[in-house]
Structures are given as structure tokens and as C-alpha cells.
Structure 1
Amino acid sequence: MIDLNLLKTFSAIYKTGSVRGASEIMHITSSAVSHALSKLRNEYNNPLFVREGRGLKPTTYAVELYKEISPHLTALEGTKKIFETFHPKTSDRTFFIAGDSDLDLWYFQKLLKISKHAAPNVNIVKFRSENREGNFNNALSMRKADVLISFVNPENRSFVVEQVAADKMVAIANKSHSRINGQLTLKAFLNEEHVGWSRPDIDRNTFEGLIQDKVPNVNVTYGSTAAMNLIFMVSESDWLSVIPEYLYDKTKKLDLVQRFDLPFNCDDLPLYLINHNATERDMGVQWLKGVIRESFS
């Protein structure tokens, strides 16, 4: 029978993508993690992880192994945490947050400052993944992440969802746009070419879904999955774009673009805080949700 601690180490490497990251979570040395990985490789007769850049990428076998053992490890850990009292001042727990990287600029630094003051030894780590809702939801289901922050409501009965924030959508244009300066009319908005914020995996809750009025489709010349990229593309062209106001506010001091209210009615962009039903009695996750709410206040 394989040692449970070896499987915990395997899970830590899988989640963090590195020996060093696993050692920090497990509170053991990197050499101890490497030794455990060597034992696991011998046990399963598979390399399990291969080096990719500065990190470790799981083999196909490791992915399947993780799928098999993760629910059982999670159940064991979850049962333990339910009966544990979480003390922020003394806890050294590591929490993982999944979510679109474009949202990090909105709250993440403030969250770290708040948590560091309240819980100096707690680590809050961003779960590494492509910006795809399927990956985020899977991370929550597989307990790779403790919470998910997203502008998409997953509408999954296994998840607890609450809206923690909303942001106004605004239009931006080059500071020296040849045809627009001072005000933006609906006619000008429709006549200009646009750079759009789009994610190929999302077909709802996009900017277009927030528009209240009947507005003709705009001419999207360029699409980007990274919202920050829109600001720089607009700053070097006569294209327009629509972004959440927090992105404009965070980059305003760079003086790259001019901001306009949209010339039509548009709902705010909602932001959701999501956790799995199974963590509702986890005092640590409930504390984390509390400091996340505070970071948006």
C-alpha cells in the first residue's frame, strides 16, 4: 500500500507545478519533495512530471492518477478541516484562488495586504491555468482551488455563488484620436473600428450581453482575450474599445487613452465569488471569502 504522504506530495506538485511550490505547501524541504517524487516514479513506473520551462508538467498518466486520488484526498482533508478551528493569526494554511488573470488588477494586491495583516503566515496563491471557465470550474470541482472569482456565473448546483462586485463598462479611445475628442456619440461609436475583449470559451455574460438598448453590431477589427491588451492597442490606433472601468482607473496615470461613458444604456459587469458546497463548513474558506469581500469594498 502506498504511503498517503507520498500521494499528498504528488497532489502538491500537481497543483503548484514545481518542487519548490510543493515544498512550501507541505512545509518540507525541496529535497524531501524530490525524494518523494523519486519514490512515486518508482512506484508507478512513470516519470509523472516532465520539466517545461521553469515548472513541471504532468504526464498523461499523472493527470489520470490525479483524477483518481484527488477526490479521496479532498474528502480526507475536508473532513479534517470541518473539525478544525481556523485561527488566522496562527494558521500557516495555503489557499488557492482560481479566476481570469484580467481580474487580478481589480483586487489581488489589496487582498494580499488585508490577509497579511490579519493572518501573517497564511499564503494566498493564484491557481495557474489558462483563462478558460472550464478550467476554473474543474479546479473548484477537483478542489485544486478553494474559491473562484469570475464574471461568469457557472450556474452549477454544486457551487455556492454570490455577487461581490460590479463594475461600469466604459469606452476608450486614443488620446489624440483624429475624429473623437471630448465626447462620444452613438454614431461615432458605431462608425469607428473596434478592438474587442473576447474569450472563445464564453458565449454569455459578455459585454454584448450587458447592453440594454438595441444597438447595431460594431465592426470589431481585432479581438483579444487579454483585457489589458486592449488599452495598449487603442493607445496606438484610432480603434475604440469597451472595458471595465477598473482597468481604466488602474492605468489612468499612464495617460494612454481617453475615457467616455457609453452612448447607450448598459448593465454593469458582475463579479462572482464562488466556492464548492463541500467547503461551506470549512472555517478557513469562509475566512478567505470574508477577506475577498473586504478587498472589493
Structure 2
Amino acid sequence: MSQQKAFDLNLFRVFTAVYRTSSFSRAAEELDLTQSSVSNAISRLKSIVGEELFTRVGRGVKPTASAMTLYQQLAGAMSTIEQVATSFEAFDPTSSERTFYVYASESAIQLLQDQIEQVLQGTAINIVFREPPLIEEELQMDLQLEKVDLALDIWLPESAAFKSQKVMQDKLVCVARNAHPRIQGGLTQEQYFNEKHIIFKMRRYNLSVADLLTKQVLPARQMHSEQSSILSMMSVASKSDALAIASKAHTDEYAKLFGLQVFDLPFAVEPIEYFMVWSHKLQQNPANIWLRERLNLAIKLKGLAAEV
């Protein structure tokens, strides 16, 4: 009984952090501890449990079977405790000068930047957009370590460590320059595949946007060029006979500027769905709730709110 009373519950907090991050150093960063403190805590817990918890793998650690069992028992309770703890953090948007950081794709940044400035009027708060890392695991780790407050992306996490909400929906369309010699007023599937194409490549998925969202396997297309910037792609389309695929929201805003015709695609594609993703432990955090509300308001003002 005396041993139970003396047990340090912080050992469980350190353990779950190491388990999630697969690293003593990352866990130390998340918990604002030294790496030696994390190592000592895991050693103490190992002595109490009587089992090895982690093994070294490269520059990180891998949980043992005993650690997996322990984590399954602790994860829900620890997540609830973290939510309760962060819910008490004070946040007053009328006096705060905080800067929030949000991972977002280039397309989302271009669509929402003006609206973000609008919804922040009257506050001293900043929302800074950053393009996400190419490796999805790095994005997830940055969310867990709170290097960024939120992500806005087409990625939907499977891990229980994150919460998500579908917030924006758009569709893909095809563009061609106004003076295109063969395409005017409409676009058939035969015309589409007979032309050269400017491929917009999703950097993190290493796929074209059409291949990522199409409902069928597309025939091979003649490539004119490959772009990773939507505005660069539309600019190239305006100066060539090549076709390009873009989102309707972007063509509504930029097609006239670039002198482009806009057509529905002659094959079925899935809608573009954007999700807001944040760490589960920040679910009840007042500052994070406020940030999500501001982003949702900006999306609504842009007219891109997802259907509920």
C-alpha cells in the first residue's frame, strides 16, 4: 500500500510521450525536460513494472510487447488528463499577442490569406501559415510537439493522437488558354487526352492531383511540364496550348487574370476535401478552440465551407 501511495504518476506521462514520439529526445522536447530526466523516468518505471519497455533502434526507440500493453491501458486516461490540464490555460483574444502557426498547402494559403486578416481585425494576434513538411510523419510529430498549432490539409489522420474536422470542399476543373486553337466552348474526353498536359504534382504524395482524386485509372497523358505551384501552372497554361487541372476556387479567382477558359473534367473525380487537424490533447484548450473558430469563420467568408 505504501508503495502505491509513493508512486509518481509523472512516470506514466513520460512513458506515453516516449511511446508516441519513439524518441527520448523528442519526448523531452514535448515535456520541456532534459533527455537525462526522460531516461531516468523510463528506468524508474521499468524497475516498477519489472519489464523492459523500449529497445534502441537507430536514432530512436521501439516499444516492447510489455510497453504496447501498458500504453493501451494508459492512452485513453492520459489523453483525458492532458485535455483537462490544457483546458485551464488562460487565453483572452482581446489582450493576447500570441502568434499561431498553421501548416497549410499552397492552395489553402492562397485561398484564405485575405480572409484570415479580416477575421483577426481588432486583435493583436497573428496566424502564420507554413507549408507542411514533405514527410507525413514529420507533420504529425510537429503537431504532437506543438511546433505548430494546427494543420489544414487533405490529409486525414488515422491515429487517436489527433482530432480532425472536414472544413472545406472544392472540385477540380480543367483550364485552357482563351485562344486555344482546338478547344473552344466545351471539352470532350477525346480532346482532353489528345492534348499535352501541365501536371500539378502533390509534393507529399508524389502524385498528380488528378491521379490522387480520380475515380478511375487515367490513360497516359502527354506531358508538357510539371509544376508544384498552382499559380505557376496557370501562368504556363496561359502561354501554351497545354491543358491544366486546378481547383474551381482558384479558377474563380485567377482564370480571368490569366486569360483561361474553364471546363468541367470529362471524367469522374472525387471532391477536394480539406481537413483541420490538431493534437487530441488540445481538444479543450481555449486558445486552440479560438483558432479553430477563426479558421472556420475565414473559410465560411470565402464560401468554401464543407457540407455537413
| TM-score scaled by length of structure 2 | 0.67
Which 5+ residue runs of structure 2 have no aligned equivalent?
1-22, 34-81, 301-308
Residue in structure 2 matched with residue 284 of structure 1 by the alignment: 287
The question of 1:169 aligning with 2:128 is answered: no
Please state whether the residue corresponding to 1:116 is helix, strand or coil. coil
Computed over aligned residues only, the root mean square deviation of the Cα atoms, in angstroms, reads 2.8
Q: CA deviation at 1:134?
A: 4.3
**Aligned residue number for residue 87 of structure 2:** 82
Structure 1 partner of 2:181: 178
How far does residue 191 in structure 1 lie from its aligned partner after superposition? Answer: 0.7
The alpha carbon displacement at 1:130 in A equals 4.9
> Which one-letter code corresponds to 1:122 in the other structure?
I
Matched, 1:91 2:96: yes
Q: For the Cα contact (< 8 Å) 1:192–1:219, is it kept in 2?
A: yes
Aligned to 1:209, what secondary structure does the other structure show? helix
- Contact in 1 for aligned 2:238/2:258 (Cα 8 Å): no
Count of paired positions: 231
Equivalent position amino acid for 2:263 in 1:
F
Rg bigger for which structure?
Answer: 2
Aligned-partner residue type, residue 93 of structure 1: R
Task: Tell me by how many angstroms 1:158 deviates.
Answer: 1.2
Aligned partner (choices 87, 104, 110) of residue 115 of structure 2: 110
Q: Choose from 94, 105, 117 the match for 1:100.
A: 105
Deviation by residue 1:218-251 (Cα, 9 ceiling, x = unmatched): 2333221222211011111111011111111221
Query: Hey, what does 1:268 align to over in structure 2?
Result: 271
CA contact (8 A) 1:102 1:228 kept: no
Name 1:218's counterpart in structure 2: 221
Partners of 1:165 and 1:272 within 8 A in 2: yes
Q: Secondary structure at the match of 1:198?
A: strand
For 1:78 and 1:161, how far apart are their aligned partners in 2?
15
2:154 equivalent to 1:195:
no
| Matches of 1:253 and 1:131, distance apart in 2 | 32
> Aligned letter for 1:102?
S
Partner residue in 2 for 1:136: 139
User: In the TM superposition, what is the alpha-carbon distance from 1:181 to its structure 2 partner?
Assistant: 1.2
Residue in structure 2 matched with residue 22 of structure 1 by the alignment: none
Q: Which amino acid aligns with 2:266?
A: P
Is the Cα–Cα contact under 8 Å of residues 163 and 273 in structure 1 kept in the other structure? yes
Per-residue deviation, 1:190: 0.8
Please give the TM-score of this superposition, normalised by the length of structure 1: 0.69
- Note if 1:207 corresponds to 2:210: yes
For 2:117, give the aligned amino acid.
L
Instruction: Name the % identity.
Output: 22
Shift of 1:179: 0.9
1:71 aligns with 2:30: yes
Offset from partner CA, 1:230-275 (integer Å, 9 cap, x none): 1011111111011111111221341431111111222211111000
Looking at structure 2, the residues matched to 65 and 215 of structure 1 have their Cα atoms a distance apart, in angstroms, of 45
- Deviating above 6 A after TM superposition, structure 1's stretches of 4 or more consecutive aligned residues are 77-80
5 Å-filtered alignment, 1:239-278, equals: 239-278=242-281
Q: How far apart are residue 86 of structure 1 and its match?
A: 2.3
Amino acid at match of 2:222: N
Q: 2:266 & 2:131 partners in 1: Cα distance?
A: 37
Moved more, 153-162 or 183-192: 153-162
Match of 1:6 in 2: none
Quote the offset at 1:206 in angstroms. Answer: 4.0
Residues 141/68 of structure 1: CA separation in 2 closer, same or farther (3 Å cut):
closer
Equivalent residue, structure 2, for 1:17: none
